Structure 1
Amino acid sequence: MTIKNFSIEYDAINHKNTFSNGDTINGRVIVEVSKETKIQSLVFIAKGKARVCWSENYGQNQHHVYWSNEKYYDVKHHILREARQDGTEVIGKGRHAFPFSFKIPDRKIPSSFKSSIGNIVHKLKAELHQSMKLTKKVNTHFTFVSKADMDTPGLMEPQNGCKDKSVNVFGSGNISMDVHTKQMGYKQGEALQVTVEVSNQSTRSAKPKFILYKKQSFFAQGRRRLHKEKIIKEMSEAVASSGKETVTKVISIPTELPPSILNCSIIKLEYKLRIYLDVKFASNPEIKLPIVILPSFEVPAMKPPAAAGFGFKAFGDPDQAPWSTASQAQAAPQEVDPPPPYDAYAMYPSKYASAL
């Protein structure tokens, strides 16, 4: 086999191995050949897109598949161009590292996301074209975390809600609660403080309970698929019959909780705080407040220098100088902490290719 290794790798800019709007990704396309080899072209591609797909059964073996796609950027640049008269380039025997530098568009783009119904994917690809041979392709995902949209209405404003409920089964009287929070937006790891003023003018005790849950919505062809999941459940001491009490509960937002996704038209990741009074033998009065989880960014730990003579702006630059066809020797990659787990909400990149 002439092509011994064809891979793509990139440099981390922080210990979480994440990127955000406007960040530049520097990396290399590795081509290792066993002998002098003719190549028509070597192409670098960067893509960001979302896709949802699910099926619904309607009985009698009838079902319908709902799907939708959304694209955020699709960048393609030639690293090696057809330079010779016969439309080929020749690379010598050995390992070649072709640098690239890609700037993520600095605009509203949703964060990486993964579930069984929908994904938001950010990836880097390379294609190697040779005459009379199948195109070789390689890709790697990178974890993109969108910057917080501080223009979200009411993000940093106080929230409150009121609810009254009559107890008329196995009891009598009225119960009311008034709920307050400092704001709607909270960073990962931040403390969410909830204050509940309970007036229990009934013959039953009422126990305040708190549930933070996530709400995933998927949209396609006029339909919606919904999935809810509890994250945190807490409770306070019961408020006795004919009593009044102010209850304060502090809920710590988990640091690993994925940020809200509100800027994608086909996938939404939302959070809600449900506060209710548990009253035996009666329907429970409840209030739901929206919670926006904001990303907590770390200061970049490293900034690899951009490769000289290589690079391009997001979505291309027609005035850019032509790409050089000379490969560069690859330096040993720096040691960084491993990327975060590939769970239901984030996509971690593939392992780096082996060093020289």
Structure 2
Amino acid sequence: MPSITSFSLYFDKVNDSGTFSEGDTISGKVSLELIKWTQILSLYVKAKGDADTAFKAEVSDGDTGTYETTVTGHERLFKVKEYFISTKVKLSPGSYSFPFNLRIPSKCMPSCFHCANGSIVYTLEAKLCRRILSDRTVHQTFEFRSKCAPNCVQMCRQMVSMTEREIWSDESGTVQMEVRLQKNFFSPGEIVPITTKVIKFPNRIMTLEFVLSCLERYCAVGSYIRITRQIMSIDRVQSEEELTNCQILMPQTLPSVHNCKIISVEYKLEGQLRFHRNISKLLGKALPVMVVHTDTPSGAHSKPTESKGAGTAEALLDRATGLLYTDV
């Protein structure tokens, strides 16, 4: 007959969405119910974050050549532990409750992430160790949303890409294109306002195309893979010199990952001009864009109803007025 009838783990939410970020404290309790005297070696709870990768790669086996196998990588992002029982003790039958408070480190860590080649998972785990009988473990995952961004000042600056090119065909001349973003971090479902200015020679019809691309990188021991994907492409016919304000909707896609050693996800937005009766393109210099998964519902970004926290990227954007970054 088992001595433990119940062993469970609970934790409290710190906000309505149930997400945690750097510096937050996870509060909860571990519940234990015994029906007879039980000898326990230790009882503890821990919070941890782990990044893992797994993908197919060509591996050399020496003289016979190479073969394809699955390679894996692992990175421990953080771990904090709290002991309730650290030395051998014998507990009488009854119900026990062990409250805990675990503080997530304030260092920059990536948000939760899941895809076919890798994952970033944050977990709470309680473990009961016994002398003779097998250990008992219970765990729960929690949603981690990072508030840390690389080079926040750079993110909050206005981004500009300017390109110039000479065209030679039945007519010749010079075409200039400028693409401008007020910021470079967006959430899925958010409107991305883009200002474009095209200066060209007459009698030339062109199509302005916006391309959002994603570069993923997954690393393992001695190997890595790079995956480049085009997330979306939008065309707009442009027949004369004009200053245009365009809006595109950021699609549902993977979040940017920038502070993990084995997983990296980056986005670039590029403006391209395609000339009619001429297959050549005027390629603008790509602007880096961050995709940030937030707790704000889609469509709510244009009409914010909550005040901006002092440490959020939006608040930094408000304080960074007047800054300009030009990529020529």
Q: TM-score range by the shorter chain?
A: 0.7 to 0.9
Q: How does 1:69-218 map to 2 (within 5 A)?
A: 69-82=74-87, 87-93=88-94, 95-149=95-149, 151-152=151-152, 154-167=154-167, 172-174=171-173, 175-186=175-186, 190-201=190-201, 204-218=204-218
Alpha-carbon RMSD across the aligned residues, in angstroms, is 2.9
Letter in 2 for 1:159: M
Partner of 2:245: 248
Q: Is the 8 A contact 2:46 2:125 kept in 1?
A: yes
Residue 291 to residue 69, structure 1, CA distance change in 2 (3 Å): same
Q: How does 1:229-268 map to 2 (within 5 A)?
A: 229-236=229-236, 238-240=237-239, 243-253=240-250, 259-268=255-264
Specify which structure has the higher proportion of strand. Answer: 2
Residue 244 to residue 39, structure 1, CA distance change in 2 (3 Å): same
Fraction of identical pairs, as percent: 26
Q: Is the 8 A contact 2:33 2:93 kept in 1?
A: no
1:293 and 2:291 aligned:
yes
Partner of 2:307: none
Partner of 1:21: 22
Residue 58 to residue 122, structure 1, CA distance change in 2 (3 Å): closer
- 1:111-159, Cα deviation, whole Å (9 max, x unpaired): 2212221222211111111221121222111111111337345211121
Letter in 1 for 2:151: D
Residue 107 to residue 61, structure 1, CA distance change in 2 (3 Å): closer
Task: Detail structure 1 runs of 4+ shifted over 6 Å in the superposition.
Answer: 58-61
Bigger relative contact order, structure 1 or 2 (CA pairs below 8 A, ≥6 apart): 1
SS in 1 for 2:273: strand
- 1:294-342, Cα deviation, whole Å (9 max, x unpaired): 46467xxxxxxxxxxxxxxxxxxxxxxxxxxxxxxxxxxxxxxxxxxxx
Give the structure-1-normalised TM-score: 0.70
Give the structure-2-normalised TM-score: 0.76
How far does residue 222 in structure 1 lie from its aligned partner after superposition?
5.5
- 1:159-186, Cα deviation, whole Å (9 max, x unpaired): 11222345557x5435431212223234
How far does residue 232 in structure 1 lie from its aligned partner after superposition?
4.3
Of 40, 65, 68, the residue aligned with 1:63 is 68
Structure 1, 151-160 or 6-15: larger mean CA deviation: 151-160
Of 267, 273, 294, the residue aligned with 1:271 is 267
Structure 1 unaligned residues grouped into runs of 5+: 299-356
Q: Is the 8 A contact 1:12 1:18 kept in 2?
A: yes
The count of aligned residue pairs is: 288
How far does residue 43 in structure 1 lie from its aligned partner after superposition?
1.8
SS in 2 for 1:154: helix
